[in-house]
Amino acid sequence: MTALTTATSTPLVVAFPDGDGTMAEILGGKGAGLAQMTRLGLPVPHGFTVTTAACREYLREGQEPAALATELEAALRRLEASAGRSLGDPVDPLLVSVRSGARFSMPGMMETILDVGLTDEVVTGVAARQGARFAWDSYRRLVQMYGRTVLGVDSAHFEARLARARADAGVTTDQELSADSLEEVTGDFRKLLLEHAGEDLPQDPREQLHRAVLAVFASWTGDRARRYRAHEGISEDLGTAVNIVQMVFGNRGRRSGSGVCFTRNPATGEPVPYGDYLVDAQGEDVVNGSRRTMDLTELAAREPELHRELVGHLATLERHYRDLCDVEFTVEEGRLWILQTRVGKRSPAAAFRIACDLHDEGVIDLDEALCRVDGHQLASLLHPGFATGSGEQPVARGLAASPGAATGRVVFDAATAMEWAARGEHVVLVRPETSPDDLGGLLASVAVVTARGGLTSHAAVVARGLGKTCVTGVEGLEVDENGRRAGLPGGLVLDEGDALSVDGATGEVFLGSRDVVPSACALAIRSWSHEQARAPYLTHADPTVRSVGRLLAHADERRTAGVRANAETPSDAHAAREYGAEGIGLARTEHMLLGDRRVLVEQVVTGNERAAALARIEELARVELEQVLEEMDGLPTVVRLLDPPLHEFLPDLVDLEVGTAVARAGGTPDLEAERRLTLVRRWHEQNPMLGLRGVRLLAAVPELVTVQVRALAEAAASLKARGLDPRPEVMVPLVADVCELTGALTRIRAEVDDVATATHEAVRVPLGVMIELPRAALTSGRLAEEVDFFSFGTNDLTQTTWGMSRDDAETSFLAAYRESGTLATDPFSTLDDIGVGRLIRLSVQEGRLTRPTLGLGVCGEHAGDPDSIHLLLAAGVDYLSCSPPRVPVARLEAGRYAVMSTAGGATGSDTR
Amino acid sequence: MTALTTATSTPLVVAFPDGDGTMAEILGGKGAGLAQMTRLGLPVPHGFTVTTAACREYLREGQEPAALATELEAALRRLEASAGRSLGDPVDPLLVSVRSGARFSMPGMMETILDVGLTDEVVTGVAARQGARFAWDSYRRLVQMYGRTVLGVDSAHFEARLARARADAGVTTDQELSADSLEEVTGDFRKLLLEHAGEDLPQDPREQLHRAVLAVFASWTGDRARRYRAHEGISEDLGTAVNIVQMVFGNRGRRSGSGVCFTRNPATGEPVPYGDYLVDAQGEDVVNGSRRTMDLTELAAREPELHRELVGHLATLERHYRDLCDVEFTVEEGRLWILQTRVGKRSPAAAFRIACDLHDEGVIDLDEALCRVDGHQLASLLHPGFATGSGEQPVARGLAASPGAATGRVVFDAATAMEWAARGEHVVLVRPETSPDDLGGLLASVAVVTARGGLTSHAAVVARGLGKTCVTGVEGLEVDENGRRAGLPGGLVLDEGDALSVDGATGEVFLGSRDVVPSACALAIRSWSHEQARAPYLTHADPTVRSVGRLLAHADERRTAGVRANAETPSDAHAAREYGAEGIGLARTEHMLLGDRRVLVEQVVTGNERAAALARIEELARVELEQVLEEMDGLPTVVRLLDPPLHEFLPDLVDLEVGTAVARAGGTPDLEAERRLTLVRRWHEQNPMLGLRGVRLLAAVPELVTVQVRALAEAAASLKARGLDPRPEVMVPLVADVCELTGALTRIRAEVDDVATATHEAVRVPLGVMIELPRAALTSGRLAEEVDFFSFGTNDLTQTTWGMSRDDAETSFLAAYRESGTLATDPFSTLDDIGVGRLIRLSVQEGRLTRPTLGLGVCGEHAGDPDSIHLLLAAGVDYLSCSPPRVPVARLEAGRYAVMSTAGGATGSDTR
């Protein structure tokens, strides 16, 4: 700690013994883990970390910090002393790895250079002590990684040369290449460096090290890394640390090997260590899944001593970190080295189970357990699965790498995945294995299937993080990428575009599309909500479902925000209540006027059979609203008056133009169609979204307000007469100015009063306004004088704040913006904090200033998005209203928000 | 002053000797004027004012202030004492008028009751002293006005009864009715009161007075008054004062009369008193124009003594008010009484001339003179007139009541005027005379023509205020309102819908449409701007033009804000410079790609002859931009990159759908049209205004940026090579997020640099962003990091802030909103201060915080609107950019803003 506590500024270099696990800010996640493990006495190779501060200065100033070279040299000397070996020693040299390690894990996104310290002179010494093949393979790797990372030479050149060497030798893997062949390859690699970069591998090991550090710094700003950060919401400003660690080798024969393991099962959460081990291999070989690994049970059988030591270290780590940890380890000639640890990624199911188990084990309290899960994870558990018992047989099986079930059309490369997804296809990405280059394709796909790789392979880790269905290590799957086809066990062939169904919970793959069914969690939640008092979730057979139930119940206990649903049919209302909604925050009245019933609005507007149409609209609304209010007995139901543009209720202009023109050209004009065409032309708008809709339409055709409100008031009165407790509320949409609002409110109040007089049943009807235009937000102080509540319509508010229509924008430019990185996230999915969020905060503040009791809800789709929920609750809204299946997600996140905001966010473990 | 200074709260009643001209806030304009004239020793009848505070409390609480009755009685006793007569005295009674008088003049909008104090008993006394006819005519008027105003009986009932009396008597005017007939009418009027309101005229004069006061209070909230205030921007909260004044009678024979006059000519500004006088008449008879008046010259000839006294009082008033005043006066049996004064309304031409004359007379300084005129007035002087010398003969002549020239279709009632105007027609309203009921029609018409009335008639006063062309008192015009036709001199007949041309500057009326020509002011301004150093405006023959030139020059001297023009063709740029623009704030690049050239954009988008289309676009732009930059040599020219939605450049979808369908139905498919249809469908958007346009289109088709910027840079380089001083700037439209902006800026900079390298001419090109979406305003701090300037596109910013498209909204609901009073003003015409204005203020503050040197312009249409200009400059913008003909208006208003903001607004005379 000396370096940190006595230095007047952040140190540039910190040796492992001087750091600890709390210093991830400057040491990065990997460096902090290595330092902490060193402190815990685990067998960690010697090393030190160049801090993120050094990287940030390098990136900011375009040159390295003045003191870096000196500090690097001092740390290196200390490393040499403790390792008892020196860099460049021709007899028994120190070799080091140079690895990136940022604050938040960015798996595979950045650069690594191994075997730094090998030179023409050193390689001879290594060959003499450890064999020529090992020496030249290591040197070959160094030249390749240095060439690519430091000098920017395209990997393809190296791969081509290796392929030629394999062909010349008549072998299929690099491991089968001889020392001579590798020496020859190494020589040719160095020619590639000279040819493409104009320089050779430096023969000064310290220069190798120094330039490798700077290359890792620079890799922070690479395209792949940037895109990953944009997707994950990681700040561009953090920079990466660089870890310089003494090399240990897993590829030194049968008593060597490398492995990756978890303190618990990261897919199921089962409290048993879980991992993969590969004999005579370096770490990359485990992660990229190119060879079959053995699991820990097998390791225990074959190397009981090693297994016992490893499991002991895992226990030490979990005790310290109080959470699931993963480690990378290497065994060099029988000696175990732990190379890395971090809080491990896990599947959504595992997240819930681990959090509850850790609580039951007395490690964390329930608040912390709640913060260990999130709404994205819960949402993925609520996804439907395939119907079981249909007797369909899988055509292949692999590892259940990320649960969920999905059906889509097969593609074999990331580019095609993105292209097809952009045009609205559901695609399943099928790959031999995935690499960071495939990230775009993973994001675009509904599921990923790989031929190779275990549960810790790139595909598995990334898919779990994204909540995508994933099956890895499918035996018998042979992907012919160029031929755009794949072979399956039993001689089956899969062509690009074929339908494939993937079950990430079982690892099964099916040909064709399959029907999906609700998740066990969703079914359980819906069954509980009627009898929550008895905590029925405690007795559920499935430990994941049980954990979800416990944490959801705890979230309900903690949260202060209400959760309602957007629902308008009796069955939606029923589902909403089952999912735990405490009311309806948005019942759209237009749904009962679409389809064939559009003609009713047309008749009202044109005056053709007007009275009959109005009566019919009123009757339809009365019947349905009475059922909805009955379902929601005792809970508030916010009914929004007619909102869509008028044209949605009218016949299609183009259809009519074409139909009438063709009829006229044929000499038999269609007079009825001509009449309707005149009407449609009269009301046609260039931009209906900015036209006659919402309160504007209600001002133009006030009877539409009258009948809707009367229907609602009569429905409520009828229920009240039956002894029920209906709680209707009415909301006016698309208000820009207070005068529009007061006009509508006057009509609503008059109608409510009339019904009360006629029925002798006085039902209180709170009135509200939707805040869905910037001007409504900007004039909230004035609007709040008139109403009982605001409800933020974040979809439309996003639309006008950004000046883009959701429907048009997606295909015309928004998809391209996300692809090019112009927009990191879709503002229609995650609340745009600095634009739309700012308007909401302003509206909340100024509305409450006018009327301290003002109700504040959100009924746009953001109310069901976990990230947006925290922004909305921080802005001060009272309740969230989302689609019924999203209600549990909103409940969970609202509970997490309450815990995290009370604890100042300190309790929450942010695993990024 | 006692009442005001010693009372702990605002007094309810103030006697004339206790008030003065500064107290309009509580006494209203009329009350303050009466008090001031009393102080100045003018012959004002005795009286007192019930204050606006009393009215406000009455309207707020729904009942009169507790102390009102007591204060009213005290003031009445004082009035009786000073007048030497008592209310209700059967022998020599005091009669009073009860008139509204708000803070800001609302001519004819509110209620008046005359002859209060007459009862069955009193009328007998009056008849005995002053004649039965006079007594019964007065009593008839009281019953009528009381019935209508206090009891709400429809005027039509009274009018019908009077018409019957005239018919019975075989006479055409009420003046010819005998005392007996009037007594009979009065009795029937009282039956009408009983029949329609259930009560009679109170026989207690004090009750008449009291109820008349409350009725005037209530008239503040009448529909007409509300609409007038909404149009004039007068606050609803002010309330009206009520003036109780001893009656004097102008209808007591040949030595009596009433008149209205101005201290100078209100139409031309000529410094000679101007007015109308009517013998043996009450004031209303003068104002409603029902009889021909004599002017002051005639009065001087007939009543030299009276004329001398009147002119003396006019001089006293103008000395006191330091401005044009108007007065209403009555002569009762040879004795002159001044009944009202105020700062007089005037024509735009008169406003300029009077302001300059008052300065030349040493009454006001040039700053104050500048504040006495405004941009609306200047704008109306810049309106074109009819071509002269075409030999066309007017079909009728009247008084030149409000200058300007307009052509439109004839309508004969306000309702038709509003209806036709709403569908886009230019209408000329032709009426026998106008009343406050016609206000809606006046607002909707381009010109007003009346058969009766002088320069001070309702039509003339209102039209001048609105800047509408107006001709009154057209001899020989006979309007048959029911027949929807009018007779003209010489037997000509005018039917509804006929075209009519009206010259408000000459009073001439022409059949048919006439060509219009630029105004003398506009021509003069354009000729001066090339030689302003010599102050050529001082020598112009027309005193109005001379005055405009002097005040415009003074405004230029005072203003700190720049004024640029929106212009893109060389001829627009030329005009802009002539009108005094100091640069171009908005050159739209799309104009050169519309019409036949739309196909070029289509070719670029489809890749069909793409390279050739791009080259052609670049060449078109280069040639035109070089001419524009040459016109603007030495001045900045802001070029906006392509902004409109893509669909504006593509063929019409409906046309193609219909064309191809008809061709297919006919068995001969049009393959080329089918191909284009596929393209158009591909790019079709539901809401193009919210779709692929501006920076989004530029991101999708970057070559469109490239060629436009290259053309601009090459044009500038070519001019620079010729020794000129081109100052191009480039602006990126429709930015919502900073990443969109940086993408476009990178391309622009690269292109500018390339041209600089190729041409060896380095032209600095400042870069800017249009702030035209709420999100751009909300993220201004970030955007300002990237650019040299912001330009507020207030049209589009209004569109998205309000969520309404200008084109659609106007016909679908905006016109109806204005008509119903839901919106007082059109936010597309006058800046919406609390919504759009708030975003602009926020953007200015946060942009400047990031970059103190940030340039801030406005290029929406609001930059040419006088009211909006003050809001924009107060927000902190640097320059305004409007259409070339509006440039002088912006110069004038920017100068006024500078003077008024320096003086804290105290210098400006707000005449409302």
Q: CA-to-CA distance for A382 and A891, rounded, in angstroms?
A: 13
Q: Which DSSP string do the residues of A130-181 spell out, in sequence order?
A: H-HHHHHHHHHHHHHHHHHHTT---HHHHHHHHHHHHHHHT-SSGGG--HHH
Return the CATH number at A61. Answer: 3.30.1490.20
User: CA A327, CA A33: separation in Å to the nearest integer?
Assistant: 10
Q: How confident is the model at residue A384 (pLDDT cuts 50, 70, 90)?
A: confident
Cβ burial of B171 (10 Å; 0-12, 13-18, 19+) is middle
A394 touches A509 (CB < 8 A): yes
Contacts with B654 from chain A: Cβ below 8 Å: 653-654, 657
Query: CA B885, CA B383: separation in Å to the nearest integer?
Result: 9
pLDDT score recorded for residue B459: 82
For residues B810 and A701, give the distance between their C-alpha atoms in angstroms, rounded to a whole number.
Answer: 17
What number of other Cβ atoms are within 10 A of residue B904's Cβ? 8
B447 compared with A286, residue with greater pLDDT: B447
Whether residue A699 and residue B796 make contact (CB cut-off 8 A), yes or no, is no
Are A258 and A328 a contacting pair, CB within 8 Å? yes
pLDDT band for position A807 (50/70/90)?
low
Pick from B296, B287, B298, B273: which is nearest to B354 by CA? Answer: B273
What type of residue is A742? T
Please tell me the distance from the alpha carbon of residue B382 to that of residue B579, in angstroms, as a whole number: 11
The average pLDDT across A259-275 equals 94
Q: Which string of b and e fits A215-253 if b means at least 16 CB within 10 Å?
A: bbbbbbeeebbbbbbbbeebeeebbbbbbbbbbbbbbbb
Tell whether A626 and A501 lie within a shared domain: no
Q: Name the residue of chain B whose CA is nearest to A815's CA.
A: B700
User: What pLDDT band is residue A909 in, cutting at 50, 70 and 90?
Assistant: very low
Are B296 and B389 contained in the same domain?
no
Structure tokens at A753: 């009063």
Q: Which of B:513-572 have CB within 8 Å of A?
A: none
A678 domain-assigned: no
Q: At B442, is the secondary structure helix, strand, or coil?
A: helix
> Are both B758 and B809 inside the same structural domain?
yes
Does residue A825 register a pLDDT over 90?
Answer: no
Q: Chain A within 8 Å of B661 (Cβ-Cβ)?
A: yes
Q: Are B102 and B52 in contact, with CB atoms under 8 Å apart?
A: yes
pLDDT at B912: 36
Q: Looking at the structure, do residues B126 and B181 belong to the same domain, yes or no? A: yes
Mean pLDDT of all residues in B577-585 = 95
CA distance A355 to A349: 10
The pLDDT of residue A5 is above 80: no
Burial B237-258, CB ≥16 within 10 A → b, else e: ebbbbbbbbbbbbbbbbeebbb
Report pLDDT digits (tens) over B296-349.
999 999 999 999 999 999 999 999 999 999 999 999 999 999 999 989 989 899
For A403-425, give one letter per residue: b (16+ CB within 10 A) or e: bbbbbbbbbbbbebbbbbbeeeb
State whether A686 and B686 contact (CB < 8 Å). no
- The contacts found for A185-190 with CB under 8 angstroms, 24 or more apart, are A185/A140, A185/A161, A186/A136, A186/A139, A186/A140, A186/A143, A188/A161, A189/A140, A189/A143, A189/A144, A189/A147, A189/A158, A189/A161, A190/A143
User: Is B574 labeled as catalytic in the residue annotation?
Assistant: no
* Closest by Cα among B8, B23, B4, B437 to B243: B23
How far is the alpha carbon of B442 from chain A, nearest alpha carbon, in Å?
Answer: 24
User: Which of B690, B698, B819 would best serve as a mutation to test chain A binding (most A beta carbons within 10 A)?
Assistant: B690
Residue B418, φ and ψ in degrees, nearest 5: -65, -40
- Look at residue B859 and tell me if it is in a domain: yes
What is the model's pLDDT at position B547? Answer: 96
Window B:624-653, CB contacts with A under 8 Å: 653
CA angle (A601 as vertex; A797, A758 as ends), nearest 5: 95
Closest CA to A861 of A835, A896, A885, A895: A885
Residue B1: which pLDDT band, with cuts at 50, 70 and 90? very low
Q: What percentage of chain A reaches a pLDDT higher than 70?
A: 94
The domain spanning residue A302 has which CATH number?
Answer: 3.30.470.20
The tally of CA atoms less than 13 A away on the side-chain side of residue B732 is 34
d(CA A177, CA A183): 10
pLDDT tops 90 at residue A499: yes
Residue B121 domain-assigned (yes or no): yes
Clarify whether residues A422 and A483 are in a common domain: yes
Alpha-carbon distance of B892 to B901, in angstroms, equals 14
Domain end: A206, A221, A246, which one? A246
Q: For residue B741, give the chain A residue with the closest CA.
A: A822
B859 is catalytic: yes
Q: For B756-777, how does the pLDDT look when each residue is reduced to its tens digit (9 = 90+)? A: 999 999 899 999 999 999 999 9
Strand runs labelled E in A345-459: 385-386, 396-397, 399-402, 405-411, 427-431, 447-450
pLDDT, tens digit, 9 for 90 and up, residues A67-97: 999 999 999 999 999 999 999 999 889 999 9
Same domain? A241 vs A263: no
Residues 834-853 of A with CB under 8 A from B: 834-836, 838-839
pLDDT reported for residue B201:
96
Same domain flag for B75 and B223: yes
B16 near B44, Cβ under 8 Å? yes
In a domain, A911, yes or no: no
Q: In this structure, what are the phi and psi dihedrals at residue B87, rounded to the nearest 5 degrees?
A: -65, 130
Question: Do B479 and B563 sit in the same domain of this protein?
Answer: no
d(CA B337, CA B105): 21
Q: How confident is the model at residue A6 (pLDDT cuts 50, 70, 90)?
A: very low
| pLDDT single digits (tens) A90-138 | 988 999 999 999 988 777 667 889 999 999 999 999 999 889 999 999 9
CA atoms within 13 A of residue A280's CA, in its CB half-sphere: 7
Number of domains chain A contains: 4
Nearest alpha carbon to residue A524 among A584, A568, A580: A580
* Structure confidence by residue, pLDDT tens digits, A865-902: 899 999 999 999 999 999 888 899 999 999 999 999 98
Query: Residue B906: pLDDT band by 50, 70, 90 thresholds?
Result: very low
Who contacts B557 (Cβ-Cβ below 8 Å, separation ≥6)? B895
Has residue B444 got a pLDDT over 50?
yes
Task: Give the model's confidence band at B591: pLDDT under 50 very low, under 70 low, under 90 confident, else very high.
Answer: confident
Start-to-end CA distance of chain B, whole Å, equals: 25
Under the banding of pLDDT at 50, 70 and 90, the label for residue B907 is very low
Q: Are residues A237 and A324 in the same domain?
A: no
Whether residue A374 is contained in a domain is answered as no
Closest residue of A to B778, CA-based?
A835
> Phi-psi category of B138—alpha, beta or left, where left has phi over 0 and alpha has psi -120 to 50?
alpha
- The answer to whether position B52 is within a domain reads yes
What six digits make up the tokens of B673?
């049209």
Calculate the alpha carbon distances from B36 to B41, B324, B338 in Å.
9, 16, 12
Count of other CB atoms within 10 angstroms of residue A666: 12
Strand A855-858 and strand A789-792: pairing?
parallel
pLDDT of the residue at B292: 78
What is the distance in angstroms between the Cα of A896 and the nearest Cα belonging to chain B? Answer: 29
Q: Please give the pLDDT value at position B196.
A: 95
Same-domain check for residues B237 and B105? yes
Q: Please compute the mean of the pLDDT values over residues A846-855 and round it to a whole number.
A: 97
- Cα torsion for B35, B37, B38, B39, to the nearest 10°? 90
Point out the domain boundary residue: A483, A517, A551: A517
Give me the helix-helix angle, B671-683 and B598-606, nearest 10°.
80
Instruction: Note whether B812 contacts A: Cβ–Cβ < 8 A.
Output: yes
Higher pLDDT, B604 or A366: A366
Query: Does B568 lie in the same domain as B487?
Result: no
Do B573 and B497 lie in one domain? The reply is: no
Residue B662 lies in a domain: no
pLDDT confidence of residue B467? 62
SS3 state at B423 = coil
Contacts of A778 in chain B (CB under 8 A): 801, 834-835, 838-839
The closest CB to that of B739, out of A686, A743, A822, belongs to A822
Q: If we measure between CA atoms, which residue out of A415, A136, A422, A456 comes closest to residue A274?
A: A456
Check if the beta carbon of residue B743 is closer than 8 Å to that of residue B699. yes
Asked if B739 lies within 8 A of A800 by C-beta distance, the reply is no
pLDDT tens digits along A28-53: 999 999 999 999 999 999 999 999 99
DSSP per-residue codes, A211-255: HHHHHHHHHTTSHHHHHHHHHHT--TTS-EEEEEEE---S-SSTT
Structural tokens at position A539: 């007795």
Host domain of residue B313: 257-346
Kindly give the interhelix angle for B543-558 and B887-902, rounded to the nearest 10 degrees.
60
Q: Give the tens place of pLDDT for each residue, B170-208.
A: 998 887 899 999 999 999 999 999 999 999 999 999 999
Residue B659 is predicted with a pLDDT of 92
Residue A774 contacts B where some CB pair is shorter than 8 Å = yes
Nearest residue in B to A835, CA atom = B775
CATH for A810: 3.20.20.60
- Which tens digit of pLDDT belongs to each residue from B384-441? 788 766 678 889 988 888 778 899 999 999 889 988 988 889 999 999 888 766 777 8
* Closest partner CB to A802 (pick from B653, B773, B820): B773
Give the model's confidence band at A375: pLDDT under 50 very low, under 70 low, under 90 confident, else very high.
very high
The secondary structure of residue B864, as a DSSP letter, is G
B834 located within any domain: yes
Position B161: which residue type?
A: R
Whether A696 and B812 lie within 8 Å, measured CB to CB: yes
| Of A665, A743, A801, Cβ closest to residue B662 | A665
Q: Which two tokens stand for residue B490?
A: 């010489």
Task: pLDDT band for A463, please (50, 70, 90 cuts).
Answer: confident
Retrieve residue B538's tokens: 């001082």
pLDDT (0 to 100) of residue A504: 87
Residues B861 and B793: their CA atoms lie apart, in Å, by 8
Q: Which helix (H) or strand (E) holds B808?
A: helix B806-809
**pTM, whole model, 2 decimals?**
0.80
Contact A661 B666 (CB under 8 A): no
CA distance A562 to B847: 38
Could you give the CA distance from residue A558 to residue A684 in angstroms, rounded to a whole number? 51
Overall average pLDDT of the A685-708 stretch: 89
pLDDT at A908: 39
Query: How much is the average pLDDT of A901-907?
Result: 60
pLDDT-derived band of residue A475, with 50, 70 and 90 as boundaries?
confident
**Pairs of residues, one from chain A and one from chain B, whose beta carbons lie less than 8 Å apart:** 198
- Please calculate the CA angle B775-B777-B778 and round it to the nearest 5 degrees: 60
Burial label, B656 (beta-carbon count in 10 A; 0-12, 13-18, 19+): buried
- Asked which of B70-74, B514-518, B544-548 is least confident by mean pLDDT, the reply is B514-518
Which residue from A692, A734, A805 is facing B687, i.e. has the nearest CB? A805
Q: Of A380-389, B156-165, B306-315, give the lowest mean pLDDT range.
A: A380-389
- Predicted local distance difference test score (pLDDT) of residue A130: 87
Alpha carbon distance A634, A725 (integer Å): 5
Per the prediction, chain B carries an average pLDDT of 89
User: Which of B197, B214, B246 is where one domain is finished?
Assistant: B246
Please answer whether residues B280 and B257 qualify as being in contact, where contact means their C-beta atoms are separated by less than 8 angstroms: yes
Report the interhelical angle of A52-61 vs A205-219 (nearest 10°): 80
CA dihedral over B16, B18, B22, B26, signed as positive or negative: negative
Q: Do A700 and B812 touch (CB under 8 A)?
A: yes
- Provide the pLDDT for residue A912: 36
- B774 close contact with A: CB closer than 8 A: yes
CA distances from A697 to A648, A749, B726, B764 (A): 12, 18, 51, 51
